[in-house]
Amino acid sequence: MPASTHAPSSSRADGLVRALGTFGLAAAIVNITVGGGIFRLPANVASSLGAAAPVAYLVCAVAMGLIVLCIADAGSRVSLTGGPYAYVGVALGPYAAFLSGLLLWMLGLFATAAVSTVFAASLGQLVPALGGAVAQASVLIVVYAFWALVNVRGVALGARLNTAATVAKLVPLLLVAVGGLFAVRGAHLTVTTWPAASDVARTSLLLVFAFAGIETALVPSGEVRDTARTVPRAIALAMAGITLLYLGLQASAQGILGPALPGSATPLADAAGLAFGGWGRTMLLAGAVISMFGYLGGMTLSVPRVVFAMAADGFLPRALAAVHGQFRTPHIAIAAQSLLALALAVSGTFEGLAILANVSALALYFGCAVAAWRLRSMAEADGGAGGVRLPLSGIAPFLAVPVILWLLTGLARDEWIAFGACVAVGSVLYLVARRTS
């Protein structure tokens, strides 16, 4: 999640060394952003747009670039911890801060559950004995219990395991994205009919799942050299690299599988199998399983901290802010988050869960864009621009807001109802907390 902001001065009281340059920051963004969703998304995108799928990737990349500029601009003006939870609150008030925290939690919850479904399906393909609904549910119970126990015992162990797991994801993805291009059939990449704008909006909405996370560019901001130049350059470099990787994966999967792509539960693994043989498929599945296993560990580490923080602030039941007496971790929040994510993963589908995660993300990004405009206006009213000067940051909110609203037109009626119900329940909890505080 986005981190707190920083002062533009190069001398900081926290003593951090500004040693992170453009390539180092760009590499960190790529590592965080390329998660489990891309192992499943090519099939979903192909089912909607076919060979015209690259259009949605490009639209989503531009949208996320504008959104991150808004987050960077807002973040440079508020020196409080909490990311959107902090600077949306400063700009728009306590209820807006609560909503941003709620949306941040919903994003993490639904994203974790969505990736869990792909993890279970990929593991079932790799180990046939673990296929089937009952076996996959049992696997998820074991995995969630494992990561919950690891993270209850302390943050250090969970972080080490998660770091080790993330190394496995880029090698098989590059194998398919680059090597797979030599096995494509040109006829499978021919666009016969260009999709309607509504279909592109719906598909781009789903693809937000693959790009979300780039906002973590601000996490190491206190250790970035020449922030005003490094941050936008790193964002541009990372966005270009991620977009090229995703386009390569989509082109390879589409060109290799053709009409079989939309119905594939493990599209990249199936493409690797046809292109390289059984070893390629096994390698891709193993890489996907390890990558998503690490992703689930990372989310079990981070998302409960949102629940814990909101409970500590009085927005959620106080019991969720309890700290384990021995391990000093938010054990109740970890257990509650893990149980809820497990229930959603077992009962839901990837696309439905991913859409809800993406809507939560876009609603959060909308708040960040409005906050960026509001904070800039407040700073200018006080006689100075303030903050870090980033290219296009002055107009980014005015470009990002209509793009976000357009992406949200791809949401179906029942998905609006589900999202609205979550926000309504959260708002009731907020009102109850305000009255009892």
pLDDT at 83: 63
Query: Residue 224 forms beta bridges with which residues?
Result: 20
Is residue 154 very low, low, confident or very high in pLDDT (cuts 50, 70, 90)?
Answer: low
Of 354, 363, 365, 46, residue with least CA distance to 199: 46
Is residue 237 very low, low, confident or very high in pLDDT (cuts 50, 70, 90)?
Answer: confident
Q: Say if residues 168 and 287 touch (Cβ distance below 8 Å).
A: yes
Rg from Cα positions in the chain: 21
Q: Which is more confidently placed, 177 or 162?
A: 177
Q: Give the number of other CB atoms < 10 A from CB of residue 388.
A: 21
Most confident of the following: 76-80, 303-307, 309-313, 339-343: 339-343
Helices (H), ranges, 277-330: 278-312
Burial of 395 (0-12, 13-18, 19+ CB in 10 A): exposed
pLDDT at 1: 37
Q: What are phi and psi of 8, to 5 degrees?
A: -75, -10
Q: Say if residues 78 and 86 touch (Cβ distance below 8 Å).
A: yes
Q: Which is more confidently placed, 113 or 155?
A: 113
pLDDT at 253: 93
Q: Which is more confidently placed, 339 or 18?
A: 339
Q: Which is more confidently placed, 306 or 117?
A: 117
CATH of 22-126+166-276+349-436, one of 1.20.1740.10, 3.40.190.10, 3.30.420.40, 3.30.230.10: 1.20.1740.10
DSSP code, position 363: H
pLDDT at 386: 57
* 119 residue type, one letter: F
Is residue 366 very low, low, confident or very high in pLDDT (cuts 50, 70, 90)?
Answer: very high
Task: Please say if the pLDDT value at position 52 is more than 80.
Answer: yes
Q: What is the per-residue DSSP string for 193-244?
A: SPPPHHHHHHHHHHHHHHHTTGGGGGTTGGGBSSHHHHHHHHHHHHHHHHHH
Q: For 85-93, what is the mean pLDDT?
A: 81
Positive or negative CA dihedral for 420, 425, 428, 429?
Answer: negative
d(CA 412, CA 18): 46
Collapsed DSSP state (helix, strand, coil) of residue 20: strand
Of 371, 435, 385, 412, residue with least CA distance to 69: 371
pLDDT at 254: 94
pLDDT at 228: 62
d(CA 92, CA 100): 11
Q: Say if residues 43 and 263 touch (Cβ distance below 8 Å).
A: yes
Helix (H) or strand (E) holding 387: none
pLDDT tens, position by position, 393-420: 788 899 999 999 999 988 888 889 989 9
pLDDT at 309: 80
pLDDT at 2: 37
Task: Please say if the pLDDT value at position 15 is more than 50.
Answer: no
Most confident of the following: 153-157, 166-170, 361-365, 376-380: 361-365
Q: What percent of the chain has pLDDT over 90?
A: 22
| CA torsion angle 418 424 427 428 (round to 10) | -120
Task: Please say if the pLDDT value at position 343 is more than 90.
Answer: yes
Judged by average pLDDT, the poorest of 121-135, 190-204, 219-233 is 219-233
pLDDT at 252: 93
Task: Please say if the pLDDT value at position 241 is more than 70.
Answer: yes
Which residues 6+ apart lie within 8 Å of 405 measured at CB? 366
d(CA 150, CA 158): 6
Task: Please say if the pLDDT value at position 31 is more than 50.
Answer: yes
Judged by average pLDDT, the poorest of 68-77, 227-236, 301-310 is 227-236
Torsion region of 334: left, alpha or beta (phi above 0 gives left; psi -120 to 50 gives alpha): alpha
Torsion region of 9: left, alpha or beta (phi above 0 gives left; psi -120 to 50 gives alpha): beta
Query: Model-level pTM?
Result: 0.78
Q: Say if residues 218 and 75 touch (Cβ distance below 8 Å).
A: yes
Task: Please say if the pLDDT value at position 135 is more than 70.
Answer: yes
pLDDT at 16: 44
pLDDT at 133: 87
Task: Please say if the pLDDT value at position 160 is more than 70.
Answer: no
Task: Please say if the pLDDT value at position 305 is more than 60.
Answer: yes
pLDDT at 289: 87
d(CA 391, CA 399): 13
Q: Say if residues 400 and 365 touch (Cβ distance below 8 Å).
A: yes
Task: Please say if the pLDDT value at position 372 is more than 80.
Answer: yes
Judged by average pLDDT, the poorest of 49-63, 160-174, 375-389, 407-421 is 160-174
Q: Which long-range contacts (CB under 8 A, 24 or more apart) does 54-57 make?
A: 54/247, 54/250, 54/251, 55/195, 55/200, 56/200, 56/203, 56/204, 56/207, 57/207, 57/243, 57/246, 57/247, 57/250
Most confident of the following: 148-162, 228-242, 402-416: 402-416
pLDDT at 404: 92
d(CA 245, CA 288): 15
Burial of 324 (0-12, 13-18, 19+ CB in 10 A): middle
Query: Residue 20 forms beta bridges with which residues?
Result: 224
